[in-house]
Amino acid sequence: MHQQFQTLNSLLLAHQNFWRIEPFLHSEQSDFPWQKSHPELCLWLSSLSTQQIEHYKDHPEQLSDIVGQYLPDVLTLAQLCFLERSSLSGLELERGVDSGVPGRKLEQILAMGEIALQKHEGTEWLEWCSGKGFLGRILASQSKQNVTSFEFQQALCETGQQEADKHQLPMKFVQGDALADSSIKALNSAQHAVALHACGDLHVSLMKKGAACRVPAMTIAPCCYHLVQSDAYQPLSQAGKASHLHLSKSELRIPLQETVTGGQRVKRHRFEEMSFRLGFDLLLKGECGVEDYIPVPSIKKSQLSSGFTAFCLWAAEQKQIDLPTLDFDNYLQRGIKRYWQMERLSLVQQVFRRALELWLVLDKALYLHEQGYDVSLGEFCSRGVTPRNILIHASMRKAT
């Protein structure tokens, strides 16, 4: 893992001008930032039809192969990012234990639950940032061992507790703040700690507190790497701390910029919203003397159906800008053109996203190793079920 981290680290550093970009902002320019250094890559990008762009977005392996023809290191990165998918036989559930769990979430908790059960150590469970405790329910019903579900939102604790009591599961919800020092009281050395999609600092706090309490095992599916209190990523491992790869908070969003779980409707809404926003930016610059990008608040998707002109009038009102009489359709067409330029830029950034995510995950894995754990990484489900499908499993190293 150390070697894997170092190779990823140097490849990411060597290619940072391909992924440290903001496609939204850069799309205003018609040329690519790599025009001089990689003219053939840029020629290929320019030649893509909108259908081809959509296709490559949805087929990351094909995208890596073709970008790899222009940037050969991308092929090495793709190999380094391969993670084994755990083989699962499926759990037999007690009646009703999955009630109220939405479809995709059910697939995630069944997969993660089965792996945690296979690798179980300790005599009880801790479910960190549990929400309503969907995963905890599976663990409690299958193992018959106590589960402590730790969650910030009181309402989720109450609903989760009611549901657990209804099924007579040995679960106890504890309301608290995972980031507060006092949350360590929820941990003890008999627990196997699990965290499904605990964001940024939340999964880090579990790793630190879990190691301090010597929990026998931790099984963690991280997500939302950018949800951290600091302005930049704070590496945990020695290798991470020694690295020259520094990631700002906004760069920590790069691994999450994927729309694989979105269907056609989600895609259409994104196309409309982004081309409206890009077109409005051009309009402000072309008609109102605005020089820098002005962020517009988020909108309800239903508002998009009123069209571009309505969007611009609403956005101008939000920003207290008076719009002159103008040709809205011209700006909409330019916004659409800019949207596809943004997508071309994103295709290049996309081939580095998983590598960045793995760099972050490996930093955490190496940290747990330094804390005395044997650590393995794998995928617990397909990326179609959730793009945040990496699982870190750590078992306390046995004295030999």
Ligand X SMILES: C[S@@+](CC[C@H](N)C(=O)[O-])C[C@H]1O[C@@H](n2cnc3c(N)ncnc32)[C@H](O)[C@@H]1O
Residues engaged in binding ligand X (CB under 6 A):
105, 129-131, 134, 151-153, 156, 177-179, 196-199, 202
Q: CA-to-CA distance for 184 and 384, rounded, in angstroms?
A: 35
Q: Contact, 308 vs 328, CB < 8 A?
A: yes
Q: Shortest Cβ distance from residue 125 to ligand X (Å)?
A: 13
Least distance in angstroms from the C-beta of 124 to ligand X: 18
- Neighbouring CB atoms inside 10 A of 47's CB total 9
State the nearest-atom distance from the C-beta of 110 to ligand X, in Å: 12
| CA-wise closest residue to 83 among 375, 369, 400, 309 | 375
Q: Which residue has the tokens 């930049």?
A: 232
Q: Is 71 helix (H, G, I), strand (E, B) or coil?
A: coil
Residue with tokens 């690519």: 32
Residue 207 vs 239, nearer CB to ligand X: 207
Parallel, antiparallel, or unpaired: how do β-strands 390-396 and 217-223 relate? antiparallel
Contact indicator for 339, 365 with CB cutoff of 8 Å: no
**Which of 1, 393, 400, 2 shows the shortest CA–CA distance to 215?**
393
Q: Say if CB 124 and CB 187 are below 8 A apart.
A: no
Closest by alpha carbon to 284, among 247, 253, 320?
320
In the complex, least distance from residue 106 CB atom to ligand X, rounded to whole angstroms? 10
In the complex, the smallest distance separating the C-beta of residue 178 from ligand X, rounded to whole angstroms, is: 3
- Edge-to-edge strand ranges of the sheet holding 191-199: 171-175, 147-151, 124-128, 191-199, 217-223, 390-396, 373-379
Q: Which is nearer to ligand X, 196 or 375 (CB)?
A: 196
Nearer to ligand X, 12 or 194 (CB): 194
Judged by beta carbon, residue 312 or residue 385, the one nearer ligand X is 385
Closest approach of Cβ 120 to ligand X, in Å? 18
How far apart, in whole angstroms, are the C-alpha atoms of residue 121 and residue 193? 10
Locus of tokens 């192969």? 65
Distance from CA of residue 317 to its chain's centroid?
Answer: 33
Q: How far is the CB of 194 from ligand X (least distance, A)?
A: 9
Task: Give the CA distances from residue 218 to residues 187, 190, 213, 359, in Å, rounded to whole numbers and listed in that order.
Answer: 12, 11, 12, 19
State which residue, 79 or 229, has the beta carbon closest to ligand X: 229
Q: 371 or 386: whose CB is closer to ligand X? A: 386
Least distance from ligand X to the Cβ atom of residue 163, Å: 13
Cβ 168 to ligand X, closest distance in Å?
Answer: 22
Q: Torsion over CA of 182, 185, 189 and 193, rounded to 10 degrees?
A: -70
DSSP state of 85: B
The length of the chain, given as a count of residues: 400
Smaller CB separation from ligand X, 41 or 215: 215
Three-state secondary-structure class, residue 339: helix
Q: Which is nearer to ligand X, 123 or 154 (CB)?
A: 154
Nearer to ligand X, 94 or 107 (CB): 107
CB of 199 to ligand X, least distance (A): 6
Q: Report the residue number, 112 or 304, with the smaller CB distance to ligand X.
A: 112
